[in-house]
Amino acid sequence: KKDDVMTKEKVVTKYSIIDLVRTPVLRKRSCNLLFSWFTNAMLYYGLSFQTESLGSSPYLSFFLAGLVEMPSYILAQLLLDRIGRKPILCGYMVFGGVVLLATIVIPE
């Protein structure tokens, strides 16, 4: 009964890295995402090195810094389907920036 079964040909499109800079809109978005990813990675890297300066054991400080991330992961998973990826990403970035700027005014 091969006649009953319809076979569909699946069109496979091959994308390359050139597609990220092919149009001006994609070029701007790609540069924005690249800069954003690089900045976040470097800030996270720098902050993770500074966890030992919190005063207690470096292992305990690093553990607590990782533990603080858990609520944000859970909240992101719960809100992802409800409000979308962009508002969550923007909200976390703005919140993180405000908190980092607030550390300037906190006395040692």
The Cα-based distances of 55 to 14, 31, 96 in angstroms read: 52, 39, 22
> What integer pLDDT is reported at residue 23 of this predicted model?
92
> What integer pLDDT is reported at residue 24 of this predicted model?
93
The amino acid that residue 19 corresponds to is: D
Task: For residue range 13-63, list pLDDT tens digits in order.
Answer: 888 888 888 999 999 999 998 998 898 889 888 877 777 777 778 788 888
Instruction: Map out the domains of the chain as residue ranges.
Output: 17-105
What backbone torsions phi and psi does residue 9 show, to the nearest 5 degrees? -85, 130
> What integer pLDDT is reported at residue 97 of this predicted model?
87
What is this structure's pTM?
Answer: 0.61
Q: Which of 23-27, 65-69, 83-87 is predicted most confidently?
A: 23-27
Question: What end-to-end distance do the CA atoms of the chain give, in Å?
Answer: 78
Q: What residues have CB less than 8 Å from 12, skipping those under 6 apart?
A: none
Q: What residues have CB less than 8 Å from 58, skipping those under 6 apart?
A: 51, 52
